[in-house]
């Protein structure tokens, strides 16, 4: 069971990772990962605000942070696990929400490549399609090739 400090740390990692992913995707032109695809500059400002806000909340507005792990603090293994869970959850939420919000985006390009084999692999694909579309197109392309 998570104590209050552990939950706050998990939420802090989730929010900062979500902000970092949105900021980086906006800077790199990866519209398929953005919640606000039409406004990449606004996404950068909102993501930076989310990151700074999470830091301010966690370190200055919530409880004391200099707590030994013999008390209510976080032991190293627990902290590492919470970091991994929070970061993975933020990436998963990014994939799901951006794919849902931008679900129709990239459909025209997808329809134009039926006989061309699998689409290119890598993050570059996310500049032209959502994660869900890119993943589905990649799987379809691989199954057509018999891999």
Q: Is the pLDDT of residue 114 over 70?
A: no
* pLDDT value for 33: 87
pTM for the structure as a whole: 0.82
Are the C-beta atoms of 99 and 133 separated by less than 8 Å?
yes
Average pLDDT, the chain: 84
* pLDDT value for 125: 77
**In the chain, what percentage of residues exceed pLDDT 90?**
41
What does the block give as tokens for 47?
A: 């993501």
108-123 average pLDDT score: 60
What does the block give as tokens for 75?
A: 């032991």
* pLDDT value for 112: 52
Helix axis angle, 76-101 to 4-28, nearest 10°: 50
* pLDDT value for 52: 98
* pLDDT value for 68: 73
* pLDDT value for 143: 74
Would you kindly state where each structural domain of the chain is located, as residue ranges? 1-102, 103-147
Spacing of C-alpha 80 from chain mean position:
18
The Cα-based distances of 28 to 16, 116, 129 in angstroms read 18, 26, 14
How far apart CA 78 and CA 125 sit, in angstroms, is 35
Q: In the 8-state DSSP scheme, what is residue 60?
A: I
Helix axis angle, 4-28 to 40-56, nearest 10°: 160
pLDDT tens digits, residue range 4-61? 888 999 999 999 999 999 999 999 888 888 998 889 899 999 999 999 999 999 999 8
């Amino acid at each position: 069971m998570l104590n209050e400090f552990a939950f706050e740390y998990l939420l802090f990692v989730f929010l900062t990772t979500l902000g970092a992913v949105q900021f980086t995707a906006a800077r790199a032109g990866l519209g398929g990962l953005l919640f606000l695809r039409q406004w990449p500059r606004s996404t950068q400002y909102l993501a930076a605000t989310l990151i700074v806000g999470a830091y301010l909340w966690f370190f200055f507005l919530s409880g004391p942070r200099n707590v030994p792990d013999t008390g209510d603090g976080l032991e190293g293994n627990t902290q590492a696990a919470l970091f991994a869970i929070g970061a993975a959850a933020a990436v998963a939420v990014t994939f799901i929400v951006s794919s849902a919000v931008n679900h129709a985006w990239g459909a025209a390009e997808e329809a134009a490549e039926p006989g061309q084999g699998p689409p290119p692999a890598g993050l570059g694909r996310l500049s032209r399609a959502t994660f869900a579309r890119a993943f589905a197109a990649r799987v379809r392309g691989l199954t057509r090739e018999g891999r």
